[in-house]
Amino acid sequence: MNRLVQFLFAGLAMVLFVACQAFAEPLPNATETKILTASPDSLPLERLFASPSLSGPVARMVKYSPDGTRVTFLKSRPDDQSRFDLWQYNVATGQQSMLVNSRLLEPNPVELSEEEKAMRERKRIAGSSGIVDYSWGTADTILIPLGGDLHLVTLSPKGPEVRQLTKTDEFEYDARVSPRGTYVTFVREGALYSVTLATGKETRLTPKADPAKAISYGVAEFVAQEEMHRYTGYWWSPDERYVAFTEVDESGVDIIPRFDIEADKVSVIEQRYPRAGRPNARVGLYVIDLKKGQTDRIYQAGPDDYLARVNWAGDSLWFQTVNRDQTEIRYNLADGPEWHMSTPYTEHNDIWVNLSNDFQQLPDGRLLLSTEDGDMRHAAILPRGGKGEAVAVTPTDEVLGAVDAVSSDGKTLYYSGYADTVLERHLYTISTDRPGHERAERITEAGKSWDVTVSPDGQSFVGTSSSPSQPPQTGLYRIDGKLIGWIEENALNADHPYAPYLTDHVTHEFGTLKAEDGQDLHYSILKPPGFDATRKYPVIVEVYGGPHVQTVKRSWGSLSDQYLARHGYLIFRLDNRGSDNRGRKFENVIYRRTGSPEVRDQLVGVDWLKSQPFVDADHIAIQGWSYGGYMTLMTILQAPEGTFAAAAAGAPVTDWRLYDTFYTERYMDTPEDNPDGYEASGVLPYAGDLSTPLLLMHGMADDNVTFDNTTRLMEMLQEKGKQFELMTYPGQRHGIRGQALQTHLMKTRMDFLDRHLKGRE
């Protein structure tokens, strides 16, 4: 459900959620002196969602060219922050320029296919337009899917030359250039195709899809995209001889009719959605030998197995499978051309296993991966062929975020992690020669959080960093961390979009509290401009609380927080147990019983708030979206009466039996194996205890947390005689997209929470 997630930051779900919070101009408290705060006009509500973005220009989807001479990235337009063009940065000269103007290739709006809409939802880019994806081929070719067709950009001395590869009524998606630049492959109508670039010849590589039997090829099924972050269903071998691809049979998966209710029409989408305890898609793995013209089946998943990851290492095909209980990741090996399968390595955990994308072959044939064997995720090396003991490379008492690169000689590892503090993500380096005998060296500057992309030659990296006082900046750095040049400096100078509102900018304060088991709970609190410790302020508790998400970190925050603070609110966040980047002990407490330890941790935060002399203890609200909406409901329904003055829950899961298999069963097992846990972890059994003023919000076309989660709660509350407020958004899915609707959602919350926190009618 990090797909309940990463509508957040990186994440986008949480960012979009927080970006949609609203409150009106503060009124004096009836029993307190007027709060000293900035004028609400110092940051108008409508400006939050208008273009250009108040956070300034941000480089997205940063990639090096194969020869390392260019850095390419997507950049939004000043007049439309949702539309992206492709830009380049010349490493030698430091100059940047637009490579591809999206409006030239797509001058008119294009109706997306259902598959493309779903893919963008899964990637959390559904609100974006223009160029939303691209891939490098050779050092001078770039593939751009746009408008449902494919365009190949060739970089010549005269400038970029664009060649349209497809022009069909159907929608081509999941397109990429083969490793040596000979082919472009893509999915069309549930089958895998290729185009030979030299001749333009198009070839279907797999059988045609069979919609009547719900069979498709080269695609990723719903849970692979939403929960495993596997967005593709095919993989090229490095020498271009082989293509591995999936056969997806969804005939056994339940059809959940989804009503895309728009303002002027209703469309019924028969979505194959595997709910907890119900059948999954059955996925087979095949390999095409382009030299022999032969296709072989390598693996066929049973009804209780998942195909999670596929990687090539020369002619060897490695693929990870996960059992339905999600207690084992099996690293399977098949060597071409005979493709006999073995399972040299298995990672096991009695609670559950977490996937990663860390897998590669070192120059000497050994294998590098990451594992949570023990408590914290760390990098480890397996002997050649994968047989033998995994030897830890990075410290096992520090959380590794991701393996970023290995030097060409295989002796130096670069990785992102949290060795210094969980509040900051940094790039580190460590030797692979003496595993376990040294500490890692931090490369990136402290006081910020970083996302990095290391160059193909390992001599530089592109780093995007931000801090509570500096919006995201992207620079090219030497591998030792010295800045070479700015790709997007985004300086907060007089020309910055945020400059008119910078005077009243406030930054979060950070601290820790103790959970009942003694573990640290990190929190942040944002105070209004002109904060006066002798006065009392209402509080907004922002909650997510679910696995694989961290909300408390030292980075540029949502500017909606600044808006709320200028209206006299304190904004409080706490990462409860079960959330990300703290290790298994911290995460495992939710096993088979969600919505309980997380709630107790949030109430630790509320108790701390109420003990502060500057907090108006009678006027504390809580709100969240997705898992945060679930947490909002579970917290108000289990907290002592009067704890909260109001609650706003968006797109909440209300019954885990309605959510998907891979996410739900990882934490809860199946409804058959854990009926008491499902009952205790659902919202509906507690509905009769509602005493807090409640606002429910949901997109009516949500294909992730389906709308019936909210309608079932509505019915239960009505049967129990409980009053609540409701705002639904026709045609909107899991996120509420677009300037107008985000503004509307903000105003809706403003009206609701101001009434209950400030007594405004």
- The distance of Cα 618 from the centroid of its chain, to the nearest Å, equals 35
CB neighbour class for 229 (10 Å; exposed up to 12, middle 13-18, buried from 19): buried
Confidence of residue 750 (pLDDT cuts 50, 70, 90): confident
| pLDDT value of position 119 | 85
Please report the sign of the dihedral spanned by the C-alpha atoms of residue 622, residue 624, residue 627, residue 630.
positive
Q: Do domains 58-203 and 205-355 have the same CATH topology?
A: no
Higher pLDDT, 706 or 17: 706
What are the residue ranges spanned by the domains of the chain? 2-51+501-758, 58-203, 205-355
Considering the entire predicted model, what is its pTM? 0.91
Spot the catalytic one: 404, 702, 703, 754: 702
Q: What is the average per-residue pLDDT within 591-595?
A: 97
Per-residue b or e along 373-412, where b marks 16 or more CB atoms closer than 10 Å to that residue's CB: bebbbbbbbbeeebeeebebbbbbebbbbbbbbbbeebeb
The residue with tokens 């630049």 is 181
What is the distance between the alpha carbons of residues 750 and 761, in angstroms, rounded to a whole number? 11
Tracing tokens 């899809």 back to the chain, one arrives at: 209
CB under 8 Å to 360, separation ≥6 — which residues? 311, 313, 367, 368, 403, 406
For β-strands 183-188 and 191-196, DSSP reports them as antiparallel
Q: Give the pLDDT confidence score for residue 41 in this predicted structure.
A: 63
Answer yes or no: is pLDDT of 578 > 80.
yes
CA distances from 90 to 66, 76, 228, 485, 531 (A): 13, 19, 35, 10, 46
pLDDT given at position 378: 96
Band of pLDDT at residue 261, cut at 50, 70 and 90? low
Per-residue burial over 165-195, b = 16 or more CB atoms within 10 Å of its CB, e = otherwise: bbeeeebbbbbbbbbebbbbbbbbebbbbbb
**Quick one: which of 573, 622, 625, 623 has its CA closest to 736?**
625
pLDDT for res 9: 33
Q: What is the tens place of the pLDDT at every residue in 428-467?
A: 999 998 666 678 999 999 999 999 999 999 999 999 999 9
Residue 11 banded pLDDT, cuts 50, 70, 90: very low
Does the annotation count 702 as an active-site position? yes
**CATH code given to domain 205-355:** 2.140.10.30
- Under CATH, to which class is 58-203 assigned? mainly beta
If pLDDT is split at 50, 70 and 90, which confidence band does 126 have? Answer: confident
Q: Is the pLDDT of residue 111 over 60?
A: yes
Report pLDDT for 281.
97
Residue 114, number of CB atoms within 10 A of its CB = 13
pLDDT at 265: 77
Residue 316 annotated in active site: no
The Cα–Cα gap between 7 and 624 comes to: 12
Can the peptide bond before residue 52 be classed as cis, meaning omega within 30 degrees of 0? yes
Contact 382/367 with Cβ under 8 angstroms? Answer: yes
- Per-residue model confidence (pLDDT) at position 5: 38
Q: Which of 626, 660, 698, 756 is catalytic?
A: 626
What is the tens place of the pLDDT at every residue in 164-181?
A: 999 999 999 999 999 999
Q: pLDDT value at position 314?
A: 87
Give the residue-averaged pLDDT of 666-690: 97
Superfamily of domain 2-51+501-758: Alpha/Beta hydrolase fold, catalytic domain (3.40.50.1820)
Mean pLDDT score across all residues of the chain:
91
Tell me the per-residue pLDDT of 234-257, one tens digit each, with 9 for 90 and over.
999 999 999 999 999 999 999 998
Looking up tokens 């072959």, which residue turns up?
361
Question: Pick the catalytic residue: 465, 734, 754, 756?
Answer: 734
